[in-house]
Amino acid sequence: MAGSLPVSPLAPARFPDLPVIAGVEFSAVAAGVRYPGRTDVMLARLAPGSTVAGVFTRSATRSAPVLDCQAKLAVESAGTTGAAILVNSGNSNAFTGSAGEGSVQAICEAVSAAAGVPQERVFTSSTGVIGERLPHDRITAKVGELVSALAADGIEKAARAIMTTDTFPKGAEATVETSAGPVRIAGIAKGSGMIAPDMATMLVYIFTDAAVPQPVLQSMLSSLTDVTFNAITVDSDTSTSDTLLLAATGQSGAAITEADSADGRAFSEALHGVMLDLAKQVVRDGEGASKFVEVQVTGAVNDGDAKKVAMAIANSPLIKTAIAGEDPNWGRVVMAVGKSGAEADRDRLSIRFGDILVAENGWVAGSYNEAAGATYMKQSELVIGVDLGLGSGSFTAWTCDLTHGYISINADYRS
Amino acid sequence: MAGSLPVSPLAPARFPDLPVIAGVEFSAVAAGVRYPGRTDVMLARLAPGSTVAGVFTRSATRSAPVLDCQAKLAVESAGTTGAAILVNSGNSNAFTGSAGEGSVQAICEAVSAAAGVPQERVFTSSTGVIGERLPHDRITAKVGELVSALAADGIEKAARAIMTTDTFPKGAEATVETSAGPVRIAGIAKGSGMIAPDMATMLVYIFTDAAVPQPVLQSMLSSLTDVTFNAITVDSDTSTSDTLLLAATGQSGAAITEADSADGRAFSEALHGVMLDLAKQVVRDGEGASKFVEVQVTGAVNDGDAKKVAMAIANSPLIKTAIAGEDPNWGRVVMAVGKSGAEADRDRLSIRFGDILVAENGWVAGSYNEAAGATYMKQSELVIGVDLGLGSGSFTAWTCDLTHGYISINADYRS
C-alpha cells in the first residue's frame, strides 16, 4: 500500500529547506519492519543539555511506546545528559500485550548502548498496523548502522522514514530573533489517516537550538497543541500512537526562561507557526483528500462552543462528501451547527463560503447566487465561515474532503 | 436521485403485511414538491379518542414542522377530538426562516378544514433538502384529494410517499394479547442518510388500537427510543427533521393505563419489537450499505460507557471502510475502544467477530485464525462483540459499512 499512492494534489511543491539545529543529528535506515525497499526507522540524537517536552494520545488503548514516553517524561530532567528518539513505521506496537513493552525495552537498551545516552532518555514511537508483534530484532540489528550514519543535515531522511500512507514527507521551520541572538526551529511530521482532534496527532518531532527549561517547554507545547494539532481532523478516528515531541538543545546560547517575556512570546509565536504548518500538511495529506478546508467559527458564546461547531462541520461525512462533489450544500452546514451541541439561534446564524455570504437571518441570503457558490467550490482550498451571532467565542479548524480515495485506501490497507 | 438507486442488498424480501389499525386511515398523493412522477405527500387521520406521543431531534437548527409538533405536544390533550399527520418528502422546510413557519401554518389550516380536526391537532413533518422554501401551495392544493382517498388499508402507500434516498419502504407490526383482548401495532419509517444516535431518527409513525393515556404513551415511547432509534447510526450526522410519532386510537377497547402492569409490559415489549424492527430497516437502507453490523458491548463499568464504546465503533470511518473491504481489521476496533472516552483496560478487553474470539489478554487470541476471520467478514450480516471485562454495563448498537456508494450518493445528491 504505502508508496503506491499518488502524491496528494494538495502537497507542497517540495520539502522545505530546514535549518540545521545545533545539537541534533539524524539518520534513517531500511530495517524491513514491514515495507520492503524503503527506509522505515529513524534516529535522532540530542546533545547533552537538551530538554524534551511531549504531548500524547489520550486513547485508553495507547501503545507501549506512548506509555513508555509518558513514564519517562513524568520524571523531570534537567537535560544534563543526551537523549535519543527512535521511530519506526510499518507496525504500531499497539495492543501487543506485554510483548509490546518488551520490544520497547529492547530497542531502548540497544539505542542507549550504541548512542551513549541513558536508557531513561531514549524515547520511541511506532506507527503502522495495530495488534501485530513488533519484530524489534530487525530494528535492534540496525541500531549500530543508525548511530554511524547520524548527521546534522539528515532531517529530511528522517521525515521520509516515518511515512505510512503519507504521500509526501512533512517539514516546517522558523527562525526567531531573540535578545540573545537568533534561535532556529525545525520540525517533521507524519500522518494521513486515523487523524482526529483532542490529541497530539500522529507523529511529530520538533527541534530547536534555544535553551528552554523543560517546564516552560512543556507548557508552551501543550497550549499550542490545542490550536494546531488538536484543531485538525481527517476522519474523526484517533490513533493509539499519537506522539508530539519537542526538544530544545540550547546550543544557540539563547535562553528562553519564561513564556511570558518578549523572547518567550517571539519564540512561542514562531513555534506556533511551525506546529500549524505541520498540522496543515497532515490535513493536506489526508487519505484521499482533494480539497483543503479551513472552518472558521466566530460569534459563539465561548471558545468551547465554537470548537464544537467547527469540529461538527469538519467531521461531518455529509459536508465532506458534498465538498468532494463541489456542491455548495450549505444546508448541511446548518445541520452540523444544529447537531454540534453548541448554543445556536437559527435567526442569528450566518454562513459564508470564502467571501460569499450564503445564509443569514435564518435563511439563504438575498444576495446569494448558487452559480457563484458552485464556482467557489471548484477551488482546491476552501474556507467555510460560520458566525453564530451570540458572543465572542471563536475557533478555527482544518480538514479535508471525503472521497472515493479514502474508501479505496481503507477498505484494503491491511489485507 | 431518489428512485434511481438500486434497492439495498440488505432490504427485506418484501413490505410486511401490516394489520389495519381501527381508527386510522391513510392516503398518499403526488404533489410534485420536488420529485416528479411519484407520490410525495401522505396523510394519516386519527379518529376522536386518539392520543399522540412524540420524540424529536435535539438539533439546535431543527425544522419548522418539528418546532410546531413540539409546541402542540407540549399541551396535553385527552384526545377527545381527532388528529391528523401530514408528511411531505423532497423538502425539509428547515432553515427557511419565518417563511417556514408560514408554510406549516398554511398546511395545518388546510388539513384542519378538509379533514375535520382542530388545527392544534394537525402534526406535520417534512424531509428532503434543507434551506429551500417549501412550495406549500402544491401540498394545500392536494389536501382535498388526500382526504377523499383516506382508507384504512393505505399504510404501505403512506410508507412509499415519505421516501427520499430510501431504496425500500419500511414497515413493521405486532399483535399483543392483553387481558382485555388483542391490541395491534403498525409502524412505518423512512431514512437512509443523515442518521445518527441520540435522537429519534428521521421520520417514524407508529399506530396502535390500544387505549393508552398520553403520559403513559409518551413515557413508553421515550424510554424505548433510547434502545432502538437512538442506538442506530448510518453516518453520525443528525437531521434537522427527525420525528417519531406514536398514536393510540383506543378502538380495540383494550386499555393500557399503566406501563408497569402485565398488559403494560406486554404492550411495551411488542412496541419495542416494532421500533427495533423499523430502526434496523433504516440501517439496512443506509446510504451505500452493503453490510449490516450489530455491535454488542458488554462488561463496561456502566451502560453509558458501553454506549460510548458501541457508538465509537459504529461511527468509525476506519472500521466501516474495513468492513466494506471485508477486512477483519480488529486493530481498528481496539483504536475505537481507546478513543471512545470510556474506561478500558487493554489487558481485560476481549473482541469477537461473531463466535470467533479475536483478541483477549491485551493481544490477539492464541486460537485466532486470520483466514477464519476473513471468511466471517464475507457475510452480509456481522456481529462485532467487545467485552471490556470491567463491570456489567452493556449496550447494543446497529450500523452499516461505509462504501463507495455513500460517497457517490452524497457527492451529488443536491446539485
Q: Phi then psi for B170, rounded to 5 degrees? A: -120, 125
Query: Do A410 and B97 lie within an 8 Å CB cutoff?
Result: no
Query: Do A94 and B334 lie within an 8 Å CB cutoff?
Result: yes
- pLDDT of A379-404, one tens digit each? 999 999 999 999 999 999 999 998 88
Query: Do A321 and B411 lie within an 8 Å CB cutoff?
Result: yes
Q: Let me know whether B144 and B246 are in one domain.
A: yes
Residues above pLDDT 90, as percent of chain A: 50
A243 touching chain B per CB within 8 A: no
Task: Give residues with Cβ within 8 angstroms of B296, minimum separation 6.
Answer: B310, B383, B384, B385, B386, B394, B396
Residues above pLDDT 90, as percent of chain B: 50
Residue B387 φ/ψ region, left for φ over 0, alpha for ψ in the -120 to 50 degree band, beta for the rest: beta
- pLDDT of A231-266, one tens digit each? 777 766 666 777 778 888 889 989 999 989 999 999
Q: What is the mean pLDDT of chain A?
A: 87
Whole-number Å distance between alpha carbons of B189 and B279: 8
Query: Do A404 and B403 lie within an 8 Å CB cutoff?
Result: no
B185-218 burial, b if ≥16 CB within 10 A, otherwise e?
Answer: bbbbbbbbbbbbbbbbbbbbbbbbbbbbbbebbb
Which chain A residues are Cβ-neighbours of B408 within 8 angstroms? 404
What pLDDT does residue B378 have? Answer: 95
Over residues A11-23, mean pLDDT: 91
Whole-number Å distance between alpha carbons of B159 and A373: 35
The answer on pLDDT for A283 being more than 70 is yes
Q: Let me know whether A280 and A300 are in one domain.
A: no
B325 touching chain A per CB within 8 A: yes
- pLDDT of B217-232, one tens digit each? 888 888 888 888 877 7
In this complex, which of B322, B339, B410 lies closest to A59 when CB atoms are compared? B339
In this complex, which of B130, B318, B414 lies closest to A335 when CB atoms are compared? B130
Which chain B residues are Cβ-neighbours of A344 within 8 angstroms? 60-61
Which chain B residues are Cβ-neighbours of A342 within 8 angstroms? 60
Q: Let me know whether A129 and A215 are in one domain.
A: yes
- pLDDT of B175-212, one tens digit each? 999 898 899 999 888 876 555 433 334 677 888 988 88
| B376 SS3 class | helix
Last residue of a domain, one of B236, B256, B284: B284
Q: Is residue B2 part of a domain?
A: no
Q: Hey, of B1, B34, B61, which one would you mutate to test binding to chain A, going by the most A CBs within 10 A of its CB?
A: B61
As separate numbers, helices (DSSP H) first and strands (DSSP E) second, chain A gives: 12, 16
The answer on pLDDT for B284 being more than 90 is no
B331 touching chain A per CB within 8 A: yes
A363 touching chain B per CB within 8 A: yes
How many domains is chain B partitioned into structurally?
Answer: 2
Contact of B18 with B171, CB cutoff 8 Å:
yes
Catalytic member of B124, B167, B201, B249? B201
In this complex, which of B61, B327, B412 lies closest to A414 when CB atoms are compared? B327
Q: Let me know whether B74 and B146 are in one domain.
A: yes
Q: Let me know whether B101 and B78 are in one domain.
A: yes
Place of cell 410486511: B16
Q: Is residue A140 part of a domain?
A: yes
Segments forming the whole domain that contains residue B269: 24-284
In this complex, which of A131, A329, A338 lies closest to B330 when CB atoms are compared? A131
What pLDDT does residue A129 have? Answer: 80
**Among A391, A24, A414, which residue's Cα sits nearest to residue A188?**
A24
Q: Is residue B7 part of a domain?
A: no
Better-scored residue on pLDDT, B47 or B362: B47
Q: Let me know whether A255 and A297 are in one domain.
A: no
Place of cell 508552551: A220
Of A181-195, A325-339, B300-314, the least confident? A181-195
Q: Is residue B8 part of a domain?
A: no
**Among A226, A100, A398, A130, which residue's Cα sits nearest to residue B339?**
A130
User: Catalytic residue at A80?
Assistant: no
In this complex, which of A96, A318, A359 lies closest to B237 when CB atoms are compared? A318
Q: Is residue A108 part of a domain?
A: yes
A112 touching chain B per CB within 8 A: no
Strands B170-178 and B203-208: unpaired
**Among A279, A252, A189, which residue's Cα sits nearest to residue A19?**
A252
What pLDDT does residue B180 have? Answer: 87
One-letter amino acid for residue B254 of the chain = A
CATH number at residue A177: 3.60.70.12
Last residue of a domain, one of B284, B305, B339: B284
Query: Do B194 and A335 lie within an 8 Å CB cutoff?
Result: yes
B3-41 burial, b if ≥16 CB within 10 A, otherwise e?
Answer: eebeebebbbeebbebbbbbbbbbbbbbbbbbbeebbbb
Q: Is residue A389 part of a domain?
A: yes
CATH number at residue B345: 3.10.20.340
Over residues A328-356, mean pLDDT: 90
Catalytic member of A140, A201, A240, A249? A201
The answer on pLDDT for B247 being more than 80 is yes
Q: Tell me, what's the ipTM?
A: 0.77
Q: Let me know whether B105 and B202 are in one domain.
A: yes
The answer on pLDDT for B234 being more than 80 is no
Chain B, 395 to 414: residues with Cβ < 8 Å from chain A are 402-404, 406-408, 410-414
Q: Let me know whether B310 and B262 are in one domain.
A: no
Q: Let me know whether B121 and B234 are in one domain.
A: yes
Last residue of a domain, one of B284, B317, B347: B284
Over residues A9-33, mean pLDDT: 92
One-letter amino acid for residue A216 of the chain = V
Query: Do B363 and A324 lie within an 8 Å CB cutoff?
Result: no
Strands A203-208 and A243-248: parallel
Whole-number Å distance between alpha carbons of B77 and B83: 11
What pLDDT does residue B136 have? Answer: 96
